[in-house]
Amino acid sequence: MLAKCYSGAVCGVDARTVEIEVFSREGTSSFAIVGLPDQAVREAKDRVSSALRNSGFETKKEYDVTVNLAPADVRKEGPIYDLPIAICLVKATGRLENEHLDEYGIVGELALSGEVRRVNGVLPMVMEMKRIGRRAVLVPAENVEEASVVSGIDVIPIRTLREAVEYLNGNLRIEPVWTDIAALVGGGSDYGDDFSDVKGQAMIVRAVEVAVAGGHNIMLIGSPGSGKTMIARRVPSILPPLTVEEALEVSRIHSIAGAAKGGGMFVTRRPFRAPHHTVSSIGLLGGGTRPMPGEVSLAHRGVLFLDEFAEFPRQALEVLRQPLEDGHVSVSRAAAAHDYPSRFMLVAAMNPCPCGYFNDPAHECRCTQSQILKYQRRVSGPLLDRIDIQVGVSSVPLADLHRAPSCEPSAAIRERVVKARRIQAERYRGMAGVRTNADVRGRDLPKICRMDVAAQEELRRNLEKLSLSARAYDRVLRVARTIADLRGSEAVCQEDVMEAAGYRQLDDNSGFLA
């Protein structure tokens, strides 16, 4: 007898339909899986056989079983096909009465006992099942939170193989689960760390506010203990909330990567990723033998924080250039090419030299000039060009720390950031791929950065003084546009350009290489 249902295969951040066909006939107990399966899929025959026996579906007859996973030219990976294969096998051997099994999408890994375990990539698979018109999708109960945000399709949580068969036979009623995605994204405002904890660094916090308001990349350079990491760790407290569309984008990536294990399966806040400086280029960019999203994609629509920036391997830093420029990562392998979105805000922090105390008035630097230059040149010029804001962070003297003024609370800063982001959202409505000033293409800058004569002259002076590259010039304009948005002004004035140019401290060697 032949049985058929549907499942999915993850390709990049999307899913493709996989049609699962199971044919059985009385024979010698052979079990073959075809359709370009990987090792984990081939091992499904052992998991499925044990799960069927332990769930009470063992028969006295022996069957030859052939499982076909179509299309046959798409590689099938992982244990996600255990549950659909088992259910089709129950149907093919005459113990499932449902005549419309092909109207269901089914996903899940089986334990030997018949329990259904969570799998990665459920969210894009449920979206694909909805697209092809399945009326319901059976998913592991542990995955139901992320799967249930997809409206227009019944999401049925399944805990055991026996439960799935009883449900499909009509002997067990399981209510579909649906979650209001808008309520998920809009709920909660406790971000923990707050900028009011920071003392005496109002100018640096202002630079961070500008960076977040426009989605600009920022680098903080300063001695150990100056507060770089403390400030960077508080960036999530002023990030604007995710939109529903953005939450779905981000959650699909985290679903595929399995990054949501152990917590809420749907991402409701902008990601904040902080990989260690020993991370490899594949860990940052993504890929591997079985391609998976890297840190730059897991930080999509959020923040990628790279502490001890110059300590990262040079190759790992250089691979950041494409995602910083293009907002996506292309990973090509012999079997397939995958494209992962990576529109993130980079927050980098580094010391000015190996010992960390170059140009520090309170500590003596032990490094030679050649060591300092070698250390600083670990960050290439083309990479620095892609960092809009570069500021030095000076230590607050310990004697002055107790009386230094506290910075504004995060709530007040976030209010201004959200207002600036709303202005940008309205300005770029209808422009594909552009949501913030940092996303604006160079050819569109003259139109959105209208400047008076004084602002144009200020920009010309800074262009000559800092010897800006064309890319850095565009980034000064983008930052100036953000500063004007924070003021609520449509026009960019001279003060906006002066402040934006002041954030390019590595274009002028003073204070860093001097």
217-256: pLDDT as tens digits: 999 999 998 999 999 999 999 999 999 999 999 999 999 9
Same domain, 402 and 378: yes
Long-range CB contacts (within 8 A, 24+) of 351-354: 351/221, 351/222, 351/223, 351/224, 351/308, 351/310, 352/221, 352/222, 352/223, 352/376, 352/512
Q: 264 pLDDT exceeds 60?
A: no
| Whole-number pLDDT of residue 252 | 92
Q: What is the pLDDT of residues 146-171, one digit of tens each?
A: 999 999 999 999 999 999 999 999 99
End-to-end CA separation in angstroms for the chain:
80
Backbone angles phi, psi at 9, to 5 degrees: -125, 130
Kindly list the strands in the beta sheet with 63-70, ordered across the sheet, starting from the edge strand earlier in the chain: 31-34, 63-70, 14-26, 2-11, 104-106, 136-140, 154-158
* Full DSSP string of 32-91: EEESSB-HHHHTHHHHHHHHHHHTT---SS-EEEEEEEESTTS-B-SSTTHHHHHHHHHH
227 occurs within a structural domain? yes
Of 407, 415, 391, give the one whose Cα is nearest residue 506: 391
Residue 377's CATH number: 3.40.50.300
Q: What is the pLDDT of residue 393?
A: 93
Contact 436, 214 (CB under 8 A): yes
Fill in the DSSP letter of residue 504: B
Please report which confidence band the pLDDT of residue 509 belongs to, taking 50, 70 and 90 as the band edges: very low
Q: Bridge-partner residues for 160, per DSSP?
A: 115
Q: Same domain, yes or no, for 218 and 157?
A: no
Q: Over range 384-407, report the average pLDDT.
A: 85
CATH number of the domain residue 87 falls in: 3.30.230.10
Is 373 inside any structural domain?
yes
Whether the upstream peptide bond of residue 71 has omega within 30° of 0, thus cis, is: yes
Shared domain for 175 and 274, answered yes or no, is: no
pTM across the whole model: 0.89
Instruction: Between 336 and 157, name the one with better pLDDT.
Output: 157
Query: Does some domain include residue 257?
Result: yes
Residue 343's domain spans which residues?
Answer: 195-436
CA separation for the pair 263, 38 (Å, rounded): 29
User: Is residue 362 pLDDT above 50, yes or no?
Assistant: yes
Instruction: Tell me: do 156 and 233 sit in the same domain.
Output: no
78 versus 403: the higher-pLDDT residue is 78
Checking if the pLDDT of 43 tops 80, the result is: yes
In degrees, rounded to 5, the angle at the alpha carbon of residue 507 between the alpha carbons of residues 506 and 512 is 35
135 and 258: one domain?
A: no
DSSP label at 405? P
Instruction: Looking at the structure, tell me whether residues 141 and 250 fall in a common domain.
Output: no
Q: Is there a contact between 234 and 194 (Cβ–Cβ < 8 Å)?
A: yes
Domain boundary among 128, 151, 179: 179
Distance (Å, whole) CA 23 – CA 485: 64
Q: Identify the residue with better confidence: 350 or 264.
A: 350
Q: What is the mean pLDDT of residues 115-136?
A: 95
Say if 199 falls within a structural domain: yes
CA distance 483 to 207: 10
Name which residue leads in pLDDT, 319 or 191: 319
The predicted pLDDT at position 188 comes to 56
- Mean pLDDT taken over the chain: 90
**pLDDT at residue 510 greater than cutoff 50:** no
Highest mean pLDDT among 110-119, 318-327, 387-396: 110-119
Claim to verify: residue 53 and residue 155 sit in the same structural domain: yes
Domain stops at, among 416, 436, 456: 436
The answer to whether position 245 is within a domain reads: yes
Q: Are 284 and 295 in contact (CB under 8 A)?
A: yes
The three-class DSSP label of residue 25 is strand
Give the Å distances, CA to CA, from 283 to 115, 154, 305, 356.
32, 36, 14, 27
Longest CA pairwise span in the chain (Å): 90
**Residue 340 within a domain:** yes
Q: Residues 433, 232: contact at Cβ < 8 Å?
A: no
- Give mean pLDDT, residues 400-411: 86
pLDDT-based confidence at residue 442 (cuts at 50, 70, 90): confident
Q: Please give the average per-residue pLDDT across 301-310, as a whole number.
A: 96
What pLDDT does residue 186 have? 66
Instruction: Please tell me the number of Cα atoms within 13 Å of 76 on its side-chain side.
Output: 28
Q: Supply the pLDDT for residue 239.
A: 95
pLDDT at residue number 369: 92
% residues pLDDT > 90 (the chain):
69
pLDDT at 260 over 50: no
The answer to the question of residue 107 being in a domain is yes
Q: Kindly state whether residues 148 and 211 are assigned to the same domain.
A: no
**For the chain, what is the domain count?**
2
Same domain, residue pair 208 and 272? yes
Mean pLDDT of 255-284: 82
Least confident of 167-181, 227-241, 279-293, 351-365: 279-293
Do 52 and 172 have their domain in common?
yes
Of the listed ranges 240-254, 310-324, 467-481, the one predicted with least confidence: 467-481
Same-domain pairing of 221 and 170: no
pLDDT at 334: 60
The model's confidence at residue 513, banded by pLDDT at 50, 70 and 90, is very low
- Identify whether residues 49 and 15 lie together within a single domain: yes
For 409, the 3-state DSSP assignment is coil
Tens-place pLDDT, residues 86-107: 999 999 988 898 889 999 999 9
Helix axes 202-214, 410-427, angle to 10 degrees: 30
Is residue 308 situated within a structural domain? Answer: yes
Residue ranges in 365-469 assigned as alpha helix (H)? 369-376, 381-385, 398-401, 410-427, 445-448, 453-466
Strand 63-70 versus strand 31-34 pairing type: parallel
Spatial separation of the C-alpha atoms in residues 319 and 286, rounded to whole Å: 10
